[in-house]
Structure 1
Amino acid sequence: MQLVIFEDRGVEALSPITDLIPMQEVVVGGAKQFIRLERLLDMESRWIVRDHMELRVPESRKPDYGSPAIILNSRLLSTDLSLKLDYGEALICGSQVVAAKVRSLEWPPEFERAKPCEAKLLENLWDICPTSIVEHLRSDLMKLYGGSEIRVNVNVVGRHAVVIGEGVDILGPLTIDAREGPVIIEKDVLLEPYSYLKGPLYVGAGSQIVAGSRVAGSYLGTATRVGGEVTTSVISDYSNKYHLGFLGHSYVGRWVNIGAGSITSNLKNTYGEVKVRGASTGLSRIGAFIGDHAKLSIGTLTYAGTVIGTASHVHGLVREEVPPFTIYGRSLGWEPVEIELDSVIRTYRRMAPRRNLEPDPREEKLLELLFERTEDLRRRMGVRKGRLG
């Protein structure tokens, strides 16, 4: 029996988060999605992804067609779902397949019986952040990490687990607040003095928390650099938010740089509902959704619910959606201009060695494919070709 996690059409609505990675690798709650779903059956997963995402699938993750399988929708948020299914049986939420069990894996699969269920699927950007962070970060971390190892030179308050990995370097006094959830600090993290770390919180391996930071209720990926104030947010692998500023109720993709003094609004002056792309969310706190490889210059300010596209460079006040591969600075008197693909790739090649990594040709190919696929979108959104100014 194999566990197969599949992408469906609903993944496209989660752009820019899913522009360059499959849904299986998106951070949901307290872990990347494939890790959360593998825990349901205690099995390693294989992946079915969108055609252009095949580049991302390791050989060990490719499905074994023709063999028995339990299949799971990659957008499944619920982790309390019963998967006791007979062969040929599927769980359906509305018209969407949530899970199924088949004797012989084919794609698309065929089912003999459909059972309705009330599972929650990720439909919108705000389902990933802030909703999954608020509702699942604590419980995911509690399920994924059991024991507690506390350093004697760390001030810890609260009863939840505090897990500190090997090679963590603590440069001075700091406070870990585990009253509301676990605090997980992976190996080789650098913790500078006078920081306040509040659970539930996950800090990925090789990351750095800058002196005087306040980080609460968030997920920080591998090799991130984080300073200032961060709350109820995801900062994905290899991204920087090194300087003073505020990031709240926001999702930050991979390879992003957030300049000094940048602030994401996450609450309206009226305390009313925040809309995203004109759609009602039912939520009063939503920050920004920032795609992979985006860059925010110093002093960037974003209105609540702002979407910043993959590989875009933004300046000044941002109060509308920015399409991918765009240089944006309307508050500075600039009209949006398309950024050259070569410039994006050059920037990535400069940034990767700063994380002790070689640039990945697959990443560059996916950037190229996305640039081509989104050209019409940029034209429709008023982005012109040419140079800035």
Structure 2
Amino acid sequence: MNNYILFDEPQARIALLPLTFTRPVSEIRIGIQTITEKWEDFLQTKISFATEDYLQQKYPITLSTDNIFINGAICPTLNLVKEIINLPPGSSLYYQNDLLAFRAAAYTPEADFETVIQFDDVPFLVKEVTDIFLHNGSQIKEDFARITANRTSQPITDRFTAFYNEPQIFVEEGADIKNASLNAENGPIYIGKGAKIMEGAKIQGPFAICENSVVNLGGKMRPNTTIGPFCKVGGEVSNSVIFGNSNKGHEGFMGNSVIGEWCNWGADTNNSNLKNDYSKVELWNYATNRYEKTELQFTGLIMGDHSKCGINTMFNTGTIVGVNCNIIGAGFQPKHIPSFSWGGPEEFRSYHPRKAFQVARAVFERRGQVFDAVEEAILLKIFEMAQPKNS
């Protein structure tokens, strides 16, 4: 059996910050699953990672004498998988200038390969943070078709729940739905194992809620939205992805946004996803360390892992929040908040790791997990990277 390794393409990894500060590129969730989970489903085997040194202990690499390395930004398709599993030794697979995969004894993405093969189909690579919400709906549809193929949904037995286009609604074992509205006329709705949809919730597909997550009373889940595992979500959410283990439990609008793990939104927090003058959005760019123009009109908030905000927080259109930020105060927040920042619009100061780790331990314990030395070392490295460089 082939040994498969997902690697971080350097430009994509930087473009996907702050989400990739704490994970390999392939651990990004888009659609129902992470990219890693998609590949493991297609290949029917466990996959390891070639990523940054400080992440490698949590996400280890398993090398053999013969390995197939796959670009971790690619979402798999049947044709791509067939091409990759049949790669000859010492060969590489490209789409135009994008390296998709190569087969070698060691991780050598810049090597001159004996055989260079061009892939004919147009692959989908997650190259920008905005790609995650822009393509989330189409990825929900693709994941839904694969995950539910030749399977039977659990029945919706609650007599007060309304559902439309039932064949496009799939309910996993242990899910609990009461007095909700599920409309799959424009795309599928996937409800994961042990998920809970509470009274008065309104859901429009494409939509996915993963294992043991909750849509709170009266929650309004609009299309192209994914709620990762172990989350609690309420209010209004539109075209957004929450990776997992995060809470937005109260009223407030989240739109065209991507939220990492271990995050929390205070009550009545809102983000803008459209500028008042309808102009194109500028986003902070970690490669150039400045704001760069995009061609997008709708863009909300990108929030790195472990970041939290107080009640009534307001995020402007196209805001980037780093890892482990504690955000408070009235008024619109800055459009870029570096990792390990504590404060609000008037002043930010450094969030000391000792305090940050105390919070992280408590949050992990609430989920029955342990904040161990490996997690601490990753966050400490991110803290060091966030400190201003001496001129």
TM-score scaled by length of structure 2: 0.88
Tell me whether 1:135 sits opposite 2:138 in the alignment. Answer: yes
Q: How many residues align?
A: 368
Q: Aligned residue for 1:9?
A: 10
Q: Aligned residue for 1:371?
A: 383
Tell me whether 1:222 sits opposite 2:229 in the alignment. Answer: yes
Q: CA deviation at 1:77?
A: 4.0
Q: Aligned residue for 2:287?
A: none
Query: Superposition pairs for residues 335-346 of structure 1, below 5 Å?
Result: 335-346=347-358
Tell me whether 1:123 sits opposite 2:136 in the alignment. Answer: no
Q: 1:248 to 1:173 in 2, by over 3 A?
A: same
Query: Superposition pairs for residues 249-268 of structure 1, below 5 Å?
Result: 249-268=256-275
Distance (Å, rounded) in 2 between the aligned partners of 1:360 and 1:169: 33
Determine helix, strand or coil for the equivalent of 1:318: coil
Extract unaligned runs of 5+ from structure 1: 381-389
Determine helix, strand or coil for the equivalent of 1:253: strand
Picking from 270, 275, 282, the partner of 2:282 is: 275
Instruction: Report if aligned partners of 2:228, 2:242 keep a CA contact under 8 Å in 1.
Output: yes
Query: Superposition pairs for residues 1-389 of structure 1, below 5 Å?
Result: 1-10=2-11, 11-57=13-59, 62-67=61-66, 69-77=67-75, 79=77, 81-82=79-80, 83=83, 84-93=86-95, 95-102=97-104, 105-109=105-109, 110=111, 111-117=113-119, 118-128=122-132, 130-146=133-149, 147=151, 148-153=153-158, 154-170=161-177, 172-216=178-222, 217-277=224-284, 278-315=291-328, 316=330, 317-330=332-345, 334-376=346-388
Q: CA deviation at 1:304?
A: 1.3
Q: CA deviation at 1:294?
A: 0.5
Determine helix, strand or coil for the equivalent of 1:343: helix
Instruction: Report if aligned partners of 2:24, 2:49 keep a CA contact under 8 Å in 1.
Output: no
Q: 1:336 to 1:94 in 2, by over 3 A?
A: farther
Q: CA deviation at 1:106?
A: 0.8
Instruction: Report if aligned partners of 1:77, 1:132 keep a CA contact under 8 Å in 2.
Output: no
Extract unaligned runs of 5+ from structure 2: 285-290
Instruction: Report if aligned partners of 2:247, 2:264 keep a CA contact under 8 Å in 1.
Output: yes
Instruction: Report if aligned partners of 1:37, 1:79 keep a CA contact under 8 Å in 2.
Output: no
Instruction: Report if aligned partners of 1:22, 1:56 keep a CA contact under 8 Å in 2.
Output: no
Distance (Å, rounded) in 1 between the aligned partners of 2:76 and 2:65: 28
Distance (Å, rounded) in 1 between the aligned partners of 2:297 and 2:225: 18
Determine helix, strand or coil for the equivalent of 1:366: helix
Q: 1:267 to 1:95 in 2, by over 3 A?
A: same
Q: Aligned residue for 2:288?
A: none
Q: Deviations over 1:103-139 (max 9, x none)?
A: xx212154212234443432221122x2221432222
Instruction: Report if aligned partners of 1:160, 1:179 keep a CA contact under 8 Å in 2.
Output: no
Instruction: Report if aligned partners of 2:140, 2:188 keep a CA contact under 8 Å in 1.
Output: no
Q: Deviations over 1:283-315 (max 9, x none)?
A: 221110001010111111111110011111123
Q: Aligned residue for 1:385?
A: none
Instruction: Report if aligned partners of 2:31, 2:208 keep a CA contact under 8 Å in 1.
Output: no
Determine helix, strand or coil for the equivalent of 2:116: strand
Q: What root-mean-square deviation, in Å, do the aligned CA atoms of Structure 1 and Structure 2 show?
A: 2.1
Instruction: Report if aligned partners of 1:19, 1:370 keep a CA contact under 8 Å in 2.
Output: yes
Distance (Å, rounded) in 2 between the aligned partners of 1:344 and 1:81: 45
Q: Deviations over 1:52-75 (max 9, x none)?
A: 1112125xxx323312x3221001
Determine helix, strand or coil for the equivalent of 2:261: coil
Determine helix, strand or coil for the equivalent of 2:5: strand
Q: Deviations over 1:251-303 (max 9, x none)?
A: 00110010111111111223332221232332221110001010111111111
Q: Aligned residue for 1:386?
A: none
Q: CA deviation at 1:192?
A: 1.4
